[in-house]
Amino acid sequence: MKKIYLFSGLGADYRVLQDLDFSGYEVTFIEWIKPFENESIEDYALRLIAQIKVEKPILIGLSFGGIMALEVGKLIQTEQIILIASVKTKHEIPFYYRLAGILKLNKLLPINLLKQPNFISDWFFGVKSKKDKDLLACILHDTNADFLKWAIDKIVNWQNVSIPPNIKHIHGTSDRILPYKFVSADVTIFSGGHFMTTNRAEELTLKIRELLSN
């Protein structure tokens, strides 16, 4: 049975990926660990590798988890890497995020405020149903503030320009956090938002399985 390692989104856990069907595969969720002060994204990826117990695994990453899956994939041999609602290089990160990183505006973000669910966060994540809103609220509440601050800094300052040859990218056209127009996707989910692992899980599962079977 092939082994899949799942990297959840920014500060999120398995709950945001629990609606995807990976039956027929052995699945392990990568657990976010506490970053060291001023730790680079490359060094953090190196420490995550300790959780990977097989050779040439399949890595699947959502959002920030996609960035980390790619960074891990630069350090070890993998069978396949699949990104969901993520980015492959610094050029796919919206220019306004990168500008914020250059000006260090992200340092001024009220992190605790970002953890509070409201209609703005619901809009950005594309959640509409009560189930999705409640799940997003729980995830935001449970997100570690220090990890969130560190990860945002790594995203807006990410310098990667290399793309592994075995990588595939799934993206939704209605993603408001990482807009579709900035990325080059291999698979498109029309009207899919940043929370499509829950509200478009069935369609997304089919697309993932197609990639895994190729």
Residue 170 carries which DSSP code? E
214 residues of the chain, pLDDT tens digit each? 899 999 998 767 788 898 999 999 999 999 999 999 899 999 999 999 999 999 999 999 999 999 999 999 999 999 999 999 999 999 999 999 999 999 999 888 887 767 777 777 777 778 788 887 887 778 787 788 889 899 999 999 999 999 998 999 999 999 999 999 999 999 999 999 999 999 999 999 999 999 999 8
Q: Mention every residue, 6+ apart, whose C-beta is less than 8 A from residue 22.
A: 4
Which domains are seen in the chain, by residue range?
A: 3-213 (3.40.50.1820)
Which helix (H) or strand (E) segment holds residue 86: the answer is none
Q: Tens digits of per-residue pLDDT, 54-69? A: 999 999 999 999 999 9
Expressed in percent and rounded to 5, the helix, strand and coil fractions of the chain are: 45, 15, 40
Q: Can you list the alpha helix ranges (DSSP code H) found in the chain?
A: 41-48, 64-73, 95-102, 111-114, 119-125, 130-142, 145-156, 196-199, 201-213
Distance CA 177, CA 183 (A): 12
Q: Tens digits of per-residue pLDDT, 128-163? A: 888 878 877 787 877 888 898 999 999 999 999 999
- Angle, CA 118 vertex, CA 65 and CA 180 arms, to 5°: 45
Pair 29, 68: CB distance under 8 Å: no
HSE of 201, CA atoms in CB hemisphere, 13 A = 12
- Burial level of 129, CB count in 10 A (0-12/13-18/19+)? exposed
